[in-house]
């Protein structure tokens, strides 16, 4: 459906109480111009209010505390289920709900993805961290109906320098994404900068899975790809909240899903994969990282 204006003297849709023409009319005209030029534009429901943003930030306090606690306690010899216990108990202690628990049938309170596991690794007492492993821990917290979603990589003991480089370059890719997430530009502009950095280092970005709008629900529009080209994909507009979370493989980008649990994604060639995730708010002059 086309993005539409409202009557000039009506109270603005944003809830400011001001007349539309003195509030978001010019903003809406900018979106309509992009849509007329053939671009994908957000629906109004994707724009977070100040109260939404405040609630996401409060959920993010818990999410960050969980990842900080995991970082302090993670070590070789520990099972990934113990990581889940840390996240589950701290989230509950701080008054939040782990969003992944029961989400579409996912059985645990976070995702733990080791080495060639790309994402959606399921914490298990049988999976013991070994010296030299790299692991992504991905947490999502619900607090007062709002969602904070972020993930970090952890190095276990003595990691191969080439694997460490994969982890570092992936973090740099997220930092580039944060630099390029700007209002009135396109998600494809950001994606292309991320992709160029990954490729310059000999790595490939997973195509089928990516970031997403987030905040008032776990997964909202848009899908955020990191392999698209400048000027394509959705227009970034102030008020949008989405994640930047490229999955980057040392080898080819191809992946497959575990047939037994129907969740865990692996690299097809067995090469290691890394991912970091942040949640950002597009602002009038750039962005604000809400959760990391
Ligand atoms: N936290 C993941 C993300 O960044 C989603 C995990 S869904 C689960 O989007 F069901 F696998 F937990
Ligand atoms: Co996410
Ligand atoms: Co996540």
Does the CB atom of residue 112 touch ligand 1 within 6 A?
no
Asked, for residue 35, whether it belongs to a domain, the answer is no
Asked if residue 52 lies in contact with residue 245, where contact means CB atoms within 8 angstroms, the answer is no
Does the CB atom of residue 3 touch ligand 1 within 6 A?
no
Please give the pLDDT value at position 121.
Answer: 98
Asked, for residue 183, whether it belongs to a domain, the answer is yes
- Split into its structural domains, the chain has a count of 1
Say how far apart CA 221 and CA 213 lie, in whole Å: 5
**Residue 180 belongs to what domain range?**
44-291
Does the CB atom of residue 84 touch ligand 1 within 6 A?
no
Q: Measured in angstroms, how far is the CA atom of residue 22 from the centroid of ligand 2?
A: 36
Asked, for residue 10, whether it belongs to a domain, the answer is no
Does the CB atom of residue 245 touch ligand 1 within 6 A?
yes
DSSP state of 104: G
Asked if residue 59 lies in contact with residue 146, where contact means CB atoms within 8 angstroms, the answer is yes
Asked, for residue 36, whether it belongs to a domain, the answer is no
Asked, for residue 88, whether it belongs to a domain, the answer is yes
Q: Which residues contact 223 (CB under 8 A, 6 or more apart)?
A: 210, 211, 212
Please give the pLDDT value at position 98.
Answer: 98
119, 122, 222, 257: residue to mutate for ligand 1 pocket, most atoms within 8 A of CB: 119
Please give the pLDDT value at position 1.
Answer: 65
Asked, for residue 79, whether it belongs to a domain, the answer is yes
Please list the pLDDT of the chain residue by residue as tens digits (292 residues).
699 999 999 999 999 999 999 999 999 999 999 999 999 999 999 999 999 999 999 999 999 999 999 999 999 999 999 999 999 999 999 999 999 999 999 999 999 999 999 999 999 999 999 999 999 999 999 999 999 999 999 999 999 999 999 999 999 999 999 999 999 999 999 999 999 999 999 999 999 999 999 999 999 999 999 999 999 999 999 999 999 999 999 999 999 999 999 999 999 999 999 999 999 999 999 999 999 9
- CATH, residue 55: 3.90.230.10
Asked, for residue 28, whether it belongs to a domain, the answer is no
Does the CB atom of residue 287 touch ligand 1 within 6 A?
no
124, 138, 141, 244: residue to mutate for ligand 1 pocket, most atoms within 8 A of CB: 138
Asked, for residue 8, whether it belongs to a domain, the answer is no
């Amino acid at each position: 459906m086309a993005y539409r204006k409202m009557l000039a003297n009506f109270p603005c849709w944003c809830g400011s109480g001001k007349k539309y023409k003195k509030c978001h009319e010019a903003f809406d005209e900018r979106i309509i111009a992009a849509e007329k030029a053939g671009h994908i534009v957000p629906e109004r429901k994707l724009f977070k209010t100040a109260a939404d943003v405040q609630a996401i930030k409060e959920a993010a306090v818990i999410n960050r505390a969980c990842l900080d606690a995991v970082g302090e306690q993670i070590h070789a010899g520990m099972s990934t289920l113990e990581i889940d216990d840390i996240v589950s108990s701290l989230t509950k202690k701080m008054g939040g709900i782990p969003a992944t628990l029961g989400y579409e049938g996912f059985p645990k309170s976070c995702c733990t993805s080791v080495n060639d596991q790309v994402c959606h690794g399921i914490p298990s007492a049988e999976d013991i961290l070994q010296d030299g492993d790299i692991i992504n821990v991905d947490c999502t917290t619900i607090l007062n109906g709002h969602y904070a979603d972020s993930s970090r990589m952890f190095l276990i003991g003595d990691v191969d320098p080439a694997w460490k480089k994969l982890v570092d370059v992936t973090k740099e890719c997220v930092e580039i994404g944060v630099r390029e997430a700007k209002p009135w530009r396109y998600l494809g502009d950001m994606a292309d900068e991320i992709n160029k950095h990954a490729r310059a280092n000999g790595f490939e970005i997973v195509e089928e899975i990516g970031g997403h709008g987030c905040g008032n629900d776990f997964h909202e529009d848009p899908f955020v790809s990191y392999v698209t080209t400048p000027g394509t994909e959705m227009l970034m507009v102030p008020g949008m909240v989405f994640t930047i979370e490229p999955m980057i493989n040392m080898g080819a980008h191809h992946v497959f899903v575990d047939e037994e649990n129907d969740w865990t994604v692996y690299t097809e060639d067995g090469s290691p994969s890394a991912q970091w995730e942040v949640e950002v708010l597009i602002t009038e002059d750039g962005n604000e990282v809400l959760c990391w």
